[in-house]
Amino acid sequence: MSRLTIDKGLCILCGKCVEACPFDALELKDQVVVNENCRLCGICVKVCPVSALVIERGLSKTVDFDSYKDILVFAEQRGGRLSSVVLELIGKGRELADKLHQKLAVVIPGTNTESLVEKIKQYPVDTIYVYDHPELAYYRAETYTAVLEDLVKEVKPGILLVGATQVGRSLAPRLATRLKTGLTADCTILDVKPNGDLIQTRPAFGGNVMAQIITPKHRPQMATVRPKVMAPSALNTTYPTTVVLQEVKPTMLSSGISFLSIEPKPQETAITEAEVIIAVGRGLKKADDLILIESLAKELGGMVAVTRPLVEAGWCSYTKQIGLSGRTVRPKLIIACGISGAIQFVAGMSSSDVIFAINKDPDAPIFGVAHYGLIGDFYEILPALVNELKSSANL
């Protein structure tokens, strides 16, 4: 581990380092003392007139990179149903594996996993690792972490992909800690260098920049991926897939949590599953005007969605919010009404097949990502569009 050291024999107690430190990490007493605020920025080292301060850099443990290869995808399931993000991870994993001329594997923890295995075998996966046990029927942090740790240490994948779901966001950091490796959360773009380094792109600073992150000194490289930002894998029912049944060791099942029962939530269609979405933003003048958006959604067989300001105003449920702090959607058609197009919103819908924007401001950023745009007031445009749709339906 790196640290700042002070040579007491050289230090003249001039106090220049204390004055220069932007973090108040140095104190001048009978000697210069370093506290927990130190960020190892090196400013104090530069200003010291007698070179009494030195940053000692700890040596990173080297990893045998040659022993780590291939891509591994965690197949999340709930009650025997495969999460939709798994097919997206398989699609991206296949792409990365082909670039590196490596193989793609999937791991399934669960019970009575035969149907899940058959489903995944319809896609271009080289190997499916199965941990089948009644205690793995539902997610528990301790058991699932132990299972994946066991497999990673055995097969040593170069890259491990996990969905950024409630389960994935609980599992991935625990596993990364066990494996002493890095983790990039909520990735929206993934690519690889020829040397195998995973280029992990994710929004940062509230979505104002897109950060590219690599993990050059540790393996495996881990990333969670937001659902609906990547295309699902294409079917390939003739791909030669090998199924490997892994041993579930008693130590893997040790947990402080006992699963008692499950009560399913009432079924409701989420905007993440909608093929048509009518979204509205700050251009909406009052909550009652949502009926205008709902009328168009009804005519098109779609769903209503909103931006964050409308949720914060209490005009709509959080479950209807699109964006970095809301849902990521990938509909066949999205109509953005009165939405400026801030990057936080765009990041949640830019993968839509067709984006149609309506805005009074011809310079609104939303027109930069839209396939089609209409400059005008949606309060005037939407009623006319609804009437036209009704007239067409009556023909």
What is the Cα–Cα distance from 90 to 234, expressed in whole angstroms? 9
Q: Is 159 exposed, middle or buried (0-12, 13-18, 19+ CB in 10 A)?
A: buried
The answer to whether residues 380 and 364 touch, using CB atoms and an 8 Å cutoff, is no
Give the predicted TM-score (pTM) of the model: 0.72
Token pair 């933003």 is found at 281
What is the Cα–Cα distance from 311 to 313, expressed in whole angstroms? 5
Q: Which two tokens stand for residue 189?
A: 């773009």
Helix/strand/coil for 229: coil
Render 265-303 in DSSP notation, one character per residue: PPP---GGG-SEEEEE-TT--SGGGHHHHHHHHHHHT-E
What is the Cα–Cα distance from 85 to 163, expressed in whole angstroms? 6
Q: Is the peptide bond before 220 cis (omega within 30 degrees of 0)?
A: yes
DSSP state of 203: E
- The sheet carrying 303-306 orders its strands as 303-306, 276-280, 333-337, 354-359, 372-375
Task: Delineate the domains of the chain, giving CATH numbers in brackets.
Answer: 3-56 (3.30.70.20), 65-253 (3.40.50.620), 271-394 (3.40.50.1220)
Strands 333-337 and 276-280: parallel
Give the pLDDT score at 395: 59
Is the four-CA dihedral 228, 169, 154, 257 of positive or negative sign?
negative
Q: Is 54 exposed, middle or buried (0-12, 13-18, 19+ CB in 10 A)?
A: middle
The answer to whether residues 84 and 51 touch, using CB atoms and an 8 Å cutoff, is no
- C-alpha dihedral over 283, 284, 290, 296, to 10 degrees? -30
Q: For the chain, 395 residues long, give each residue's pLDDT as a single digit of tens.
A: 678 999 988 999 999 999 999 999 999 988 999 998 898 899 999 999 999 999 887 645 567 888 999 999 999 998 888 998 999 999 999 999 999 999 999 999 999 999 999 999 999 999 999 999 999 988 999 999 999 999 999 999 999 999 999 999 999 999 999 999 999 999 989 999 999 999 999 877 666 677 899 998 899 999 999 888 898 999 998 999 999 999 999 999 988 888 787 777 776 678 988 999 999 999 999 999 999 999 999 999 999 999 999 999 999 999 999 988 888 899 999 999 999 998 889 888 988 999 999 999 999 999 999 999 999 999 999 999 999 888 877 65
**Beta-carbon count within 10 A of 124 CB:** 20
Q: Torsions phi, psi of 92, nearest 5?
A: -70, -40
